Amino acid sequence: MARITVNSESRDFPSPLNVAGLIQLLGKNPKYLAIEVNEMVVRRDEQTNHELKEGDRVEIVTLVGGGSDPAPPTDKPLKVGSFTFKSRLFTGTGKYATYDGMKDSLAASGCEVTTVAVRRERLVDKEGRNLLDYLDLDRYTILPNTAGCFSAEDAIRHARLARELLSNLGNPGSKWVKLECLADKKTLLPDPIDTLKATEVLVKEGFEVLVYTSDDPVLAKRLKEAGAASVMPAGSPIGSGQGVLNANNIRIILEYLKENDPDYPVIVDAGVGTASDVAFAMELGCDGVLLNTAIASAQDPVRMAWAMRNACEAGRWAFQSGRIPKKLYANASSPMEGRIAPASK
């Protein structure tokens, strides 16, 4: 018998014994192992000829971790009022250099919903082409918005006109409206009083109202109570590209609106600048993101649209996965057990 140390454990083995015989005694597959004897690697083709002797130190090393390839994550569809969608990214149609560029960018984004402002100067360009000629109404559900309205009365009027227009086109978007009631032209912040007033009126008229609002949790709660199909807090001012400036308020809005209604859709609207902003909003637990300028004004809108699409999915999956807690000190990802014995001095 010979006493040999294997992975820091001293054991008696029959003698004579070579490395290949040791592996066989231990019931291991040599293909998956690397062997070191007295801190010198013994190659596989040398293991039969390498005899072990009393006092030898053997390290047997394999790889850990990994796992089988999982199927792509599945998710329940996003439900907003009577509408159901797979994509959680909503886009806009404004600010594109060309209608062709808009068309390509919408396709790249994977969106199923795109917003349109009900204003003559936004529907027809200087060459007389109509925006709707570049939107596949079988592919996209049009979400009319009341962009540019600075009073409840104007917003209500625009919503009624949008319903008439989309009803004539046979698009299901005639059922709903993205409500914007702005306070002033400099900040484009929502007017809380007129926003709530217009919501109450439009809900009574049978609209499914998606409401652009500030990140005020109390107002968000009031808008839901007024019957809004979705509350859409701004991440930051419209078109600013600053991302989500007040994550704590968004968290409180989510808590307020989902406490007894976990599927109530909260969609961040406005202020997104790049893909990480979208991912962050989704990681907070928001149900979707609506954006326009971040794609339309990018140097490469189509490429940015792809980025936003992937960021929306990644952020959603990350939220559903449950992130690890933040810790003050390091926590090794490789196991501390089974380490190779320190080299002798």
Q: From 304, 264, 340, 263, select the one nearest 95 (Cα to Cα).
A: 304
Q: Prior bond to 144 cis, omega within 30?
A: no
| 12-24 as b/e: b if 16+ CB within 10 A | ebeeebbbbbbbe
User: What is the C-alpha to C-alpha distance for residues 207 and 79, in angstroms, rounded to an integer?
Assistant: 16
Q: State the DSSP string of 289-335.
A: EEESHHHHTSSSHHHHHHHHHHHHHHHHHHHHH-PPPP-SS---SS-
Q: From 164, 115, 172, select the one nearest 138 (Cα to Cα).
A: 172
Active-site entry in 79, 178, 221, 224: 178
Q: Which residue type sits at 24? A: Q
Eight-class DSSP state of 70: P
Determine whether 178 is an active site residue: yes
* Token reading at 83: 């509408």
User: What is the C-alpha to C-alpha distance for residues 14 and 23, in angstroms, rounded to an integer?
Assistant: 13
Would you please indicate which residues are annotated as catalytic (active-site) residues?
178
